[in-house]
Structure 1
Amino acid sequence: MSDSIKKPSWKEKLHEIIYEADTKQGKFFDVILLIAILASILLVMLESVESFDNEYHTLLNIGEWIITIFFSIEYVLRIVSIKKPFKYIFSFYGIIDLLSTIPKYLSFILIGSHNLVALRALRLLRVFRILKLGRYVGASNKLLLALNASKAKIAVFLFFVSIVCVILGTVMYMIEGAENGFTNIPKSIYWAIVTLTTVGFGDIAPQTPLGQLIASVIMILGYSIIAIPTGIVSSEMTKTDAEIDTNTQSCPTCLKEKHTKGATFCHNCGSILN
């Protein structure tokens, strides 16, 4: 008689529901979490509208407390469902989860601190997986790799743009002068940056024909400069075209995700995956 298959413990089952999205229970949990996060952010927005808050303050407060208690319970369950709790507590998501839970409690001490629950929007990064965005998560990873690979080129580009702004700002200060709003070189450099980036606040504008001619050149130059970082990153992305087919499985020991489909062991710590 063959040995019976070992049934997962309640901790393993809880870990699967909370940290993964490959099962119906995991997807359902993430959907509830998504709704709670969006509802919480909406409540904070509505509370900031004075007329609405005056009429429905009690209702908004009750709704926020319900969601806060839900997140508090979820935070505790995340801790007890893994083998190494401190891995989660001091991880990026662990800190975000804590920060999104405590603001309402802090409101007893610090007035207005409950508005910090808007940090819960960062938790949407975790629940995006329920939308089957695995391939796009892979694409975002490629973008991060491309940005990292092109950081030296981008740094040189930004340094060049900074020098151009300093030179153009100084030239405009000499041409326009304080009578036309260019009272000092730093303010003139500010104008050059605003103009070169095609923002154009309009708080300072050249009045002399020569100054207007230079401003026109800077505006045209701004459009060509915008395309340069895009080209740098795009060229690097073509070098990182390999895409790995991953799932949402999370290691119960180190919490690492993005394991290849069918993987038995964690690619980070070597622990057996549930």
Structure 2
Amino acid sequence: MPTPKKQDWRDRLHEIIYEADTPEGKLFDVILLIAIIASIILVMLESIKHIDQRWHSVLDAGEWIITILFSLEYIARIICVRKPMKYVTSFYGVIDLLSTIPKYLSLIIAGTHALVALRALRLLRVFRILKLARFLGASNYLINALKASRAKILVFLFAVMILAVIFGTIMYLVEGEENGFSNIPKSVYWCIVTLTTVGFGDIAPVTPLGQFIATIIMILGYGIIAVPTGIVASEYTSQTNSSKGQKPNDAALNPMSSVQLNSQSCPNCLADNHKDGAEYCYNCGYKLSND
């Protein structure tokens, strides 16, 4: 019986950092998320003046410790992949870099340390830990529905803008400068705010005719909100209905359509969401580590 090949240290490190199916990988990701949350809390506390005045040195030291740990983690992520630039230019790679450099930039440019709040984006990794990635396939339906309905929505928005200009001009003529409608652009702004049912209250009609027109605009606002929702909902239903006719072989071409996925990441191309028990990457054919 052949002796199993000993796992390379880079493969082992990759398994811990990029995957969440092993106890070590889960522990690493949980610690990482705790560090991210702690870092965000530190930045928030530092923005509160009376807390910062009393605990500035402690908060700053804590932030530097976390930044150094993130820097080491970023370097480790680059080292343990076969194609480092694949990670560096990936979505998570860019986010990891942007979440690390602000503290270093603060040594040169004052105030930029607050940008470490970008680390909140790294919390997206929780999808991998909780294995929620398998449910992200449903988001493809929503994206496709939005793409399919973009022309209808653009036409609808154009019609809304025309209505806003028309009603805004009418309100300018009815109310006049003495009631706050000093010019047409400001009146159009009021109309848009009213149509979207936001209602800031900085401008309000005073005359009976103006209030009557405002009532019509507010009622129209509720109908306007429902229209794009109906367009997208209709397209979404079409997307889900068409997916029911998908052939079994299509699931192999689209790993997101399978429910038996894991968090295993390819060391070569960083593709994830492989099927349970897969020996080779579905994207590049690289041999996966299943030790």
TM-score interval (norm. to shorter):
over 0.9
How many Å apart are 1:135 and its aligned residue? 4.3
Unaligned 5+ segments in structure 1 are: none
Partner of 1:262: 277
141 and 38 in structure 1: CA distance in 2 versus 1, 3 angstrom threshold: farther
Structural mapping, 1:97-116, within 5 Å: 97-116=96-115
- TM-score, length basis structure 2: 0.88
Partner of 2:251: none
265 and 165 in structure 1: CA distance in 2 versus 1, 3 angstrom threshold: farther
Aligned counterparts of 1:265 and 1:60: Cα–Cα separation in 2 = 46
Partner of 1:13: 12
Match for 2:95: what amino acid? I
Q: Aligned residue pairs: how many?
A: 273
244 and 63 in structure 1: CA distance in 2 versus 1, 3 angstrom threshold: same
How many Å apart are 1:26 and its aligned residue? 1.1
Bigger mean CA offset, 262-271 vs 174-183: 262-271
Partner of 2:266: 251
CA contact (8 A) 1:33 1:127 kept: no
CA contact (8 A) 1:37 1:121 kept: yes
Bigger mean CA offset, 127-136 vs 35-44: 127-136
User: How many percent of aligned residue pairs carry the same amino acid?
Assistant: 66
Residue 63 of structure 2: SS of its match in structure 1?
A: helix
204 and 51 in structure 1: CA distance in 2 versus 1, 3 angstrom threshold: same
Runs (4 or more) in structure 1 with deviation over 6 Å come to: none
Bigger mean CA offset, 137-146 vs 49-58: 137-146
Match for 1:190: what amino acid? Y
Match for 2:277: what amino acid? G
- TM-score, length basis structure 1: 0.94
CA contact (8 A) 2:83 2:269 kept: yes
Aligned counterparts of 1:103 and 1:81: Cα–Cα separation in 2 = 24
Bigger mean CA offset, 8-17 vs 239-248: 239-248
Structural mapping, 1:14-93, within 5 Å: 14-93=13-92
Unaligned 5+ segments in structure 2 are: 244-256
Bigger mean CA offset, 166-175 vs 70-79: 166-175
CA contact (8 A) 1:21 1:130 kept: yes
Residue 248 of structure 1: SS of its match in structure 2?
A: coil
Q: Find out whether 1:144 has 2:143 as its counterpart.
A: yes
The C-alpha deviation readout for 1:186-219, integer Å capped at 9, x for no partner, is 1111011100010101111111111111111111
CA contact (8 A) 2:64 2:103 kept: yes
Partner of 1:229: 228
